[in-house]
Chain A
Amino acid sequence: MRLIARYARESETHFEIVTVWDEKVDREEVSKDDPRVRTLSKTHPAAVWFERKMHDDFGIVIEDAFDNRPLVAQERFPEKTYPMRKVFQERSIPYANYKPYKYEAIGGDGVFEVAVGPIHAGIIEPGHFQFSQAGEDMLHQEVRHFYKYRAIEKMLEGKTLFEAKPIIERISGNESVAYQTAWRDIVLQAGRRELPEANRKYHALLLELERTIHHLTDLGFIPNDAGFGAALAFGSKLAEDARRQLHLLTRHRFGFGAIDFEAHTVDAAAMIAYLDVLEEAIGFFETWVTDIPSLWDRFDGTGILKKQQALKHDTIGVVARASGLSLDRRDEPFYHAHGFVIQTQTSGDVSARFRVRLDEVKNTLEMMRNFMIESTYAVEPGRIEDGEYFGFSESSIGELFMSIELRGGVIERFFVRDPSFMNWQALHLMMPGNIIADFPLINKSCDLSYAGNDL
């Protein structure tokens, strides 16, 4: 079974631990006076972050865990402060005394540590990486995040689904349409409504365009991190073109506010003309970069994630598909009917992740043609009924899971698990056997979100 998410929710009398698997949902009640739950991390290592987060959020003690360090709460976060509990209503908290965080480190003669972050040497999001090095060779790496923690889950409590929308679409800018799609599915479930085919196609078109932008950016940045700057110039030009198309369609360069229940018209002829140009450019790009041996010399065999590891650590998205796992939320009849073909590779290295992105752009181009419509219909979303709803979508990074519990018409508990949250935990597996100079390349080949991870 694949672990999708594990989180806690609070009711009047107890805490409930919800564990979402691909096949079922487990629920476990724990008392509020002495909240304890057994760890799942022995069989599913990816449960570690969920459980550490659960402890920081609610003060639930994780029994038998090999890692009890704080995750979200950092060095100066006050002790015994559990912000996700309903009683916590503070608008600000003081900085407590500095308590060092104990990084995972490998000891030994001549082994040293390299600390990188939280502010990185580029225009990137903040996060910390701690390396144990034997000279150039990486022995181990720990990912430490949550510098961008905005307490989104708490922020959304007490809001209606529509009040929450502007915040949900700004959780992770690169995946905005994917977040909105998961939100849309929850609104439809809560309102007991179905979406007309034309609207579904329009939303899918936007989601594929968002994926195209993100993949094109990466197709430029990954070779750039291997010292091949010309690809970045080419890729970033194509990404800008695609972003301008998204702007034409949605009047926003990132598609904020794009997924709604209004009627829209699409200039299909112009869009198809654009797709023709992009298709030709991608064809050229592929021939061009495939023909550069020094580039593939850097890509091949770098940052390998083996299939068994990918499976054991419940990875998803591009990372999982590059390691040979057929995991994609679009693997369903609606997408199949519009030309979706799952793209996988088996080598699990940087080349595989680069290749999966390239192949997905090509497949996405075909799908966007099939999703082309002239206009959509205005839909009445229906009366929102209380309950617990799950929404899924496949962002450019991987499977996105969103859970919203509504009570009295407003959000009682909001939980979202960005695909990055799973894949960040598997990043360290790709490091041993590589030199530290290849870390940026490996990291970029996964291109995970910090904002979506940290919430």
Chain B
Amino acid sequence: MMTFWNRRMKSGILTESPELDNELKSIQKEITDKVKRKFAGSLAIRMVDSGSCNACEAECNALSNPYYDLERLGIYFVASPRHADVMLISGLMTYNMTPHVLDAYKQMPEPKWVVTLGECPVMQAPFEKNFAINAPVEGQLPVAHHIPGCPPSPKEIIEGLLIFLSKI
């Protein structure tokens, strides 16, 4: 265990601070206030994969690595839609997943928002519309914001969430 703490002391804090980037700096305070006021201090996200390639999920998982550490912004992922303010949808809204996505949305308490992640849910990815695909999500659920990218990088996801927060 001592070897670990020795190394820990040496490596210091790795977290990069995209919130200090100039573009984000200006909205930082406003967002913190909004998260405090509207979401009782923290924004809870339920991530739902409706048929992606798993790259969007990998990037959302990367949000928790020491470089990005999303939770320091008061934004975190929850296990149940009943604990969520926002549903973050990736994927093509497949025929087989659609009923379950709609179910999860119904379980969310009001007020609630849907944010789409990546090119799939807006049918901008190279996949072609067919019988197994119900995307775009827009036709199924009210979409409040879209975060583009194939997949969006962790930094782009953070920026996208902050823009969403400044919009509502």
B131 touches A150 (CB 8 A): no
Question: Number of A interface residues, CB 8 Å?
Answer: 52
B54 touches A151 (CB 8 A): no
Question: Number of B interface residues, CB 8 Å?
Answer: 51
- B4's partner among A150, A173, A230, A256 (CB-CB below 8 A) is A230
Q: Which residues of B contact A167 (CB under 8 A)?
A: 126-128
Cα distance A147–B79 in the bound complex, in angstroms? 19
Question: Does A338 interact with chain B (Cβ within 8 Å)?
Answer: no
Question: Does A43 interact with chain B (Cβ within 8 Å)?
Answer: no
Question: Does B62 interact with chain A (Cβ within 8 Å)?
Answer: yes
Q: At the interface with chain B, which of A88-96, A130-138, A200-208, A433-441?
A: A88-96
Q: Which A residues from 352 to 383 make CB contacts under 8 A with B? A: none
- B131's partner among A122, A151, A172, A253 (CB-CB below 8 A) is A151
Question: Does A254 interact with chain B (Cβ within 8 Å)?
Answer: yes
B95 touches A172 (CB 8 A): no
Cα distance A217–B61 in the bound complex, in angstroms? 10
A238, chain B: closest CB distance, angstroms: 9
Question: Does A337 interact with chain B (Cβ within 8 Å)?
Answer: no
B59, chain A: closest CB distance, angstroms: 8
B127, chain A: closest CB distance, angstroms: 6
A240 touches B62 (CB 8 A): yes
Question: Does A111 interact with chain B (Cβ within 8 Å)?
Answer: no
Question: Does B121 interact with chain A (Cβ within 8 Å)?
Answer: no
- A147's partner among B67, B81, B94 (CB-CB below 8 A) is B94
1/0 contact string of B40-69 vs chain A (CB within 8 Å):
000000011111111111111110111100
Cα distance A236–B63 in the bound complex, in angstroms? 10
Q: Which of B7, B52, B60, B64 has the most CB of A within 10 A?
A: B52
B51, chain A: closest CB distance, angstroms: 4
A91 touches B129 (CB 8 A): yes
Residue pairs across A and B with CB atoms within 8 Å: the count is 142
A146 touches B131 (CB 8 A): no
Q: Which residues of A contact B126 (CB under 8 A)?
A: 166-167, 170
Known: A170-B53, A256-B150. A154 touches B66 (CB 8 A): no
Known: A121-B80, A123-B60. A449 touches B54 (CB 8 A): yes
Classify the secondary structure of B's interface with A: loop
Q: Which of B14, B57, B101, B129 has the most CB of A within 10 A?
A: B57
A150 touches B57 (CB 8 A): no
- B128's partner among A149, A155, A230 (CB-CB below 8 A) is A155
Q: Which A residues from 6 to 49 make CB contacts under 8 A with B? A: none
Question: Does B104 interact with chain A (Cβ within 8 Å)?
Answer: yes
Q: Which residues of B contact A291 (CB under 8 A)?
A: 1, 3
Q: Which residues of A contact B59 (CB under 8 A)?
A: 253
Q: Which residues of B contact A239 (CB under 8 A)?
A: 62, 65
Cα distance A288–B8 in the bound complex, in angstroms? 12
Q: Which residues of B contact A66 (CB under 8 A)?
A: none
Q: Which residues of A contact B53 (CB under 8 A)?
A: 170-173, 176, 451
A33, chain B: closest CB distance, angstroms: 25
A288 touches B131 (CB 8 A): no
B56, chain A: closest CB distance, angstroms: 8
Q: Which B residues from 71 to 110 make CB contacts under 8 A with A? A: 77, 79-81, 91-92, 94-97, 99-101, 104
- A237's partner among B51, B67, B80, B99 (CB-CB below 8 A) is B67
Q: Which residues of B contact A174 (CB under 8 A)?
A: 54-55, 58
Known: A155-B130, A256-B150, A288-B4. A118 touches B92 (CB 8 A): no
A3, chain B: closest CB distance, angstroms: 26
Binding site for A on B (CB under 8 A): 1, 3-4, 7, 14, 47-62, 64-67, 77, 79-81, 91-92, 94-97, 99-101, 104, 125-133, 150-151, 153
Closest 7 CB pairs of A and B: A173-B55, A121-B79, A236-B65, A166-B126, A151-B132, A173-B53, A148-B51
Further contacts, 8 of them, CB under 8 A, given A239-B65, A287-B3, A451-B53: A77-B95, A122-B79, A126-B49, A148-B49, A170-B126, A236-B64, A236-B65, A253-B59
